Amino acid sequence: MPKYYYDQLIRKRLAWMLMYKKINNVSKVCLYFGISRKCFYKWLKRYEDSGGDPAASLIDRSKRPRRSPMLTHEYIQSIIIRLRKTTSFGPDRIRLFLLKDYNISLPRSTIYAILKRNGFIEKPKKMRRKPKCYQMPSPGYLQVDIKLLGGYRPGSFVQYSAQDDSTRIKFTKLYQERSTSNSLDFLQYIFRRFPFKIRHIRTDNDSVFTNAYTGEPKTHSLRQPRTHPFTLSCKGLGIKHKLNRPSCPEQNGKVERSHRTDGEEFYRLQKIRNLDHLVKERKKYDEFFNNKRPHMGLQGCTPLQKLQTFPYYKTVTYVYS
């Protein structure tokens, strides 16, 4: 389990102890946190026995048995290890050698466990599951992301991007830095621009979008973590804010891929790196992208043509930036 998980467990159980010290009433503590008296007294005893050390007492103890009566004899283990070192055989061949040369019958799983315990079995590389391609059935589900223009060098810019999952209609805005205030400004900007109701916004776990991996884990155990202003603004506009799983940029794959297109078709052709100039040209490109540029992910249709396939939006003739 990751350290973050254990820190959360300790904080949760420490909150029980602190509240009990404050009000000295077990029933109220159990009722408030939704735990049984038996559970509370178990952790209280451990906490008091440790002298009030949360890290030592409020974490789950190992469930490993103290004795293993069925443990394979050390002599047999030494034979298995020697065979492995001299032959590099796996559990199946070692099992046959033991049976043939030593008249010892052991299950394959036991031999495998001995080899693994002694460091002869390497952990297999975890194969990443290939993400499934999907497309939302209707407009209103946006992917929002940030593109750094020029990295972290002085004078670089930041592009905020929002792309609809279904129609690929996309709006961008350039800023001099990435910040929570700019994220809120961009939210208001796209809320006024998209020609349909925004139902859902998906972002990564950047601190300009969420507190989940920055402020929230540091919040005092007795305080409710503060909701991020971006999430609150989404809620105020009737929009559901959803986060990617950590290290899963493919969940925002469409807007991530559009950043590559931006680099190839827009920024590579810009000779002037002035913010005012880029803002002006970027708006023109967004209009071209949404209304005239064929999108191969839409079988050659433009985002506007895709939008017009939905009965409610047949009358939309142009998407303005």
Structure tokens at 308: 């017009």
Please tell me the predicted confidence (pLDDT) of residue 197: 95
Q: Is the dihedral of CA 62, 64, 66, 72 positive or negative?
A: negative
Predicted local distance difference test score (pLDDT) of residue 163: 97
For residue 114, give the nearest of 72, 85, 82 by alpha carbon: 72
Q: Is the pLDDT of residue 143 over 90?
A: yes
Other CB atoms within a 10 A radius of the CB of residue 176 amount to 11
We find that the CATH architecture of domain 141-215+225-309 is 2-Layer Sandwich (3.30)
First CA to last CA distance, the chain: 47
Mean pLDDT of the chain: 89
Q: Where are the domains of the chain?
A: 3-50, 74-118, 141-215+225-309
* Selected residue with higher pLDDT from 235 and 127: 235
Q: Residue 157: how many CB atoms within 10 A of its CB?
A: 19
Sheet containing strand 200-203, edge to edge, reads 170-175, 157-164, 141-149, 200-203, 240-243
pLDDT given at position 260: 93
In whole angstroms, what is the distance from residue 303 CA to residue 285 CA? 13
Segment 283-305 shows an average pLDDT of 94
Tens of pLDDT, residue by residue over 18-55, are: 999 999 999 999 999 899 999 999 999 999 998 888 88
Residue 288 pLDDT: 95
Q: Is 321 a residue whose pLDDT tops 90?
A: no
Per-residue confidence (pLDDT) for residue 65, from 0 to 100:
83
Handedness of CA 194, 181, 201, 258 (dihedral sign): positive
Summarize pLDDT for 195-221 with one digit per residue, the tens: 999 999 999 999 899 988 776 555 555
Structure tokens, 87: 């032959």
Predicted confidence band at 64 (pLDDT cuts at 50, 70, 90)?
A: confident
In this structure, what is the dihedral angle of CA atoms 21, 23, 26, 31, given to the nearest 10 degrees? Answer: -120
Residue 155 has pLDDT above 80, yes or no: no
pLDDT at 16 over 80: yes
Band (222; pLDDT cuts 50, 70, 90):
low
How confident is the model at residue 218, as a pLDDT?
56
- Report percent pLDDT > 70 for the chain: 93
The DSSP letter of residue 270 is -
Question: Which candidate, 143, 134, 135, 168, places its Cα nearest to that of 307?
Answer: 168
CB proximity list for 215: less than 8 A, separation 6 or greater:
207, 225, 226
Q: Which tens digits make up the pLDDT trace of 257-276?
A: 999 999 999 999 888 888 89
pLDDT for residue 95 is more than 60: yes
DSSP state of 209: T
